[in-house]
Every structure is written in structure tokens, then in C-alpha cells.
Amino acid sequence: MDGVIAIAEGLSNKGWGFPLLHDITDCLRIGDVTFIRRGREPEYVTIEVKTKVLRETPHDDGMTEVQAQIMVLTQRNIDPDTGLPLSEQRDFSIDVANPPPINRIQRQADRMRQALIKGTASNGLIEGLEQPTLNLTVTLSTKSHWKTLRRLIRQSRSAGWAGALVDDGFYYLVVYSTEPFDSKVLEETDILATIVGRFSQSKVVEERAVILMLVPDRETTHTRAHLPYFLYNIPRRAVFDILHDRLQILVVVNPGHICDRLRDEGIEVDVRPQKTGPSDIVTVSTHEVDGVVYRSESHQFPAFLADTVAEFHSMDYLVGMVKGTQRAAEVHLPEYAHQVLGHTRETSKHL
């Protein structure tokens, strides 16, 4: 980490821009530092830092002299005159016919290459990736429940906890305590049972299990694309209470009711039980291109649900994301079918 900080400081002083260390974020997982340069191209540059200690020499004063080799890997070409990054992307392509031995640095370079391609791609089929990938944009105008959350935070300070049923698919539970909160308390008391009793039961018996989600979920190591809690639309005091474990926000999710809502919107839903954890909810759509029927599956529901819960969106947002993704996929399906699947009239394909 010391090598990363040293490189970040050094390059920033040379004009690369403001350095954002990936290890302090929840969403940046490729590379070590991203430099942001407002008003100049490129606007951001990501680097990977590789540090190798060559020698350590202890001294009589208790200090240790460290000689290290530091290598910086970036997806941008560098101007030899100024030492600043250029807009052109470096060629990290690999000869598929004669691939070289893949080492750690080459793998990292390829991850950075793919991240840059995805981050700058237009809508449609993305070129230059090993796996066929569609880039889609969904634009929505739906309400959120920040007002409800702020009310529950105020009430929890005086009563210890407060809750509210939202859209019949979510129950917001806010707990305020001077001691660190343990979610197991819900299982040991009748609070969770009371909450579940307020939900409308799903039409399908197998879908009546509920999911308890912590907001923010500090235990997950997965990349998160939603707002961090310190940017929530809540009073600053509440942010500090979350930081010091005095305020805990929990959302009980009723996935069965969400599935019913999706079905009411004409969306086919396939619920697949898992050996451990909640069932996998897959949305399915059928499209026809030049007389050939394509059946496509979207496994993005968990991501849409996580965004809905973490940013306190309404149920309309979740439904809109599913419907919008299906509409966008249908628009780009002919291009995908012809270029990737080798579409013919005589052959039906499963995406």
C-alpha cells in the first residue's frame, strides 16, 4: 500500500489529476488508483501498481532503508515529452493463434483493457471483448422513499426503533441504540414474525420466504454500484450514527410479492431454488427475429434488487429496470443474433 500511495502522490504532482485510491471504495475493483482530470482528455486514467522489495537495510537509529522496484501499468499511452497520459488506448491484444504464457501482469492488463472498453462503449453489441456483451441504457423516472426513511430515523431516536411497510414488498426497520446492534436480535424476538405478518402472501407458496438485508451491507466484498451511506439523503447526524454503529437500517424484502408484481406486468418469472440462500429469480422474455424465436434470460434481478434496497427506490424502479432491460435487449437482439449466434431462419436459438 505504501508503494501505491507514493506513486499516487508522485503522479498527481506531475499533473495526472486527483488520485482516488480504489481500496477506500466499494465499487472500484480493477486497478489500484484512478486519476480524475477535469477539463482535460482523458478525464480519468486508471493504473495498477506492482511493488517488489529488493533489499531492506536496517540502520543503527532504528530506521530501515528499503529498496524497491515499482512498476505502473495503465491502459493509456504516455506522452514521452510531458509524461502525461494520452487519450489513446494501449494495445493489450493477444495473438489468439499463438498466445504467450499468461502471467499476473498480463491478466491485470486484460482486465483493465476490458474495463476501459465497457466504460466507453455505446449502446449495442460491444466489440473487442472475449464474451459477447450487450451494453444497454435504461432511463426511468420513479419516486424514492427517502422521506419515509428520514421519518423513521427521527422516530427511532425516541422509541428505540421504528418501521414502515413500503409498496407491500419492503419493510424498513430502523434501530437506534448506543450499543452496537446485532441483527440476530430480530430472530430471537417476535419483531421479524410481526413484520412478515404484515406482508401480503405470494400466490406461490414456494415464494413466501423473506430476505433480510442490512443497509449498508458492510460485510459484503462484492462490487457495489449504488450510493455509499455517507451520501444518503439523510441528516448528517444520522450518517455519523451509522458510522459509529448507533443506527442500523434493515430492509425485509418480500420477493414473492415482487414476483407477483412482475407477472402482473406481463413478465415471465422463473424462481429457481438454491441449496443455500434465497432462490435465484430469473426474468425471461421471448423475441422473434426474421421468423426465428429467441428465448432470453436475464440474471440481473439480484443487482436491481440491491440497488432498489440500498437507494430506497420504489417498487416501480425495480419493475422499470426489468422491463427496460427487456425492451432494450429486444432492440439490439437482431444485431446480436446475426453477429454472434450465426442467425438462420431454420434454427432457433437460446440466449
What is the predicted pLDDT for the residue at 348?
41
Distance spanning both ends of the chain, measured CA to CA: 42
pLDDT bin (cut points 50, 70, 90) of residue 180 is low
Mean pLDDT of 200-218: 69
For the cut 90, the answer to whether the pLDDT of residue 318 exceeds it is: yes
Cell numbers for 331: 432492440
| Sign of the C-alpha dihedral computed for residues 35, 41, 42 and 44 taken in this order | positive
Q: Is 278 helix (H, G, I), strand (E, B) or coil?
A: coil
Mean pLDDT of 173-201: 68
Long-range contacts, stretch 119-126, CB < 8 angstroms, 24+ apart? 123/328, 123/332, 124/332, 124/335, 125/332, 125/335, 125/336, 125/339, 125/340
Q: Which residue has the higher pLDDT, 240 or 131?
A: 240
Mean pLDDT of 164-183: 83
What DSSP letter does each residue of 190-228 carry, written as one string?
SHHHHHHHHSPPPSSGGG---EEEEES--S--S---S--
Mean pLDDT of 338-350: 50
pTM, whole model, 2 decimals? 0.73
Q: In angstroms, rounded to a whole number, what is the distance separating the alpha carbons of residues 181 and 212? A: 15
